Amino acid sequence: MATIGRYVTRLKGGGAGHRFLDLYEFRKADPPAPAVRVGLWLVAIVLIGGGLAIGWLPGPGGFIAVFGLAIVAMEFRFMAVILDRMERLGRDAWAWLRGKKKPARRDSPKSPD
């Protein structure tokens, strides 16, 4: 249980936009015991499956699957990168909705003449 506590503390303390990749690197530097690894995979499968099964219901159903994906991100670098991008996009969208940030422009900047 102490191992899972370390992961949660590391995830909470990580910087926005790179916390999942940091957790992936942290876990690869100090891998858990095989029993803990199997337990985490079982929890991830239950969370993802349960989140998808009840995601259509009102409430946090689909959000539960995100916790399962976070556990998967500890195993696979590509998933950690995807979740970091999703976090950045979510934070930018929230800031834009609150009026604190202008949407990013997709066109090239004008050259000074």
Average pLDDT, the chain: 81
Q: What is the pLDDT of residue 55?
A: 77
Q: How far, in Å, CA of 16 to CA of 49, rounded?
A: 27
Residue 101: band (very low, low, confident or very high) from pLDDT cuts 50, 70, 90 = low
**CA separation, residue 48 to residues 37, 52, 86, 96, 110 (Å):** 16, 6, 17, 29, 46
- Provide the number of structural domains found in the chain: 1
**pLDDT, tens only, 37-87:** 898 899 999 998 988 888 777 777 778 888 888 888 888 899 889 989 988
Residue 42's nearest CA partner among 64, 6, 71, 63 is: 71
Q: How far, in Å, CA of 7 to CA of 49, rounded?
A: 22
Domain membership flag for residue 26: yes
Domain membership flag for residue 108: no
Q: What is the DSSP letter of 107?
A: S
Q: Mean pLDDT across the stretch 7-22?
A: 82
Q: State which residues form the domain around 48.
A: 2-97
Residue 109 has pLDDT above 60, yes or no: no
Domain membership flag for residue 89: yes
Domain membership flag for residue 107: no
Residue 103 has pLDDT above 90, yes or no: no
Q: What is the pLDDT of residue 107?
A: 53
